[in-house]
Structure 1
Amino acid sequence: MVIDELFEEVYEISWGLNRLILEGSTPVISFGDFTKSSIATLGINPSPLEFINRRGHILNSSEKRLVDLESLELEPTDFLLS
């Protein structure tokens, strides 16, 4: 399936760029139900301001629109243990 191949490619590229990922944030792979979509787009979003405020502090839970490591109750190295 094309979506699976695209997902794998985006995943591999995003981890190659992990030095650009804001600590405590998580990659945003998609919005909505990908099984019902007919078009896929690729962008460099989200903005760092989806995870931090203008002073550079991680947003508190009531301000978050996207998941991050804290809301998933994960440590930055947990993915290494799975």
Structure 2
Amino acid sequence: MDEVIRPRVYGSDVDDPDPGPKPGHVYRELVGGPLDGLLLDVTDWTEPQRSAGAELRTDIGRFGPGGRARYAPRAGDPAHWDWHGDSR
């Protein structure tokens, strides 16, 4: 039998026994870059915040620990946020 793998939510602990999405929350899928495939919880974000995208901390991007990865909503498909590069 094939095992179904649930996507992991950005910011969840590696040791979290249930790092997947929670019922009643709103998520955006991160596409490309160092956080590819993770879900970002935007439940409490305003619509302008969601439209602006985000710079997310990551240790696995171009700049290593303390670096950030920039993601923004995909035109015509805001449920997917595309990677737009890394920054310090």
Fold shared, TM-score > 0.5 on shorter chain: no
Of the two, which has the highest radius of gyration?
Answer: 1
User: Is the strand fraction higher in 1 or 2?
Assistant: 2
User: Is the helix fraction higher in 1 or 2?
Assistant: 1
Q: Give the TM-score normalised by the residue count of structure 1.
A: 0.27
Higher relative contact order (CA 8 A, sep 6+): 1
Q: Give the TM-score normalised by the residue count of structure 2.
A: 0.26
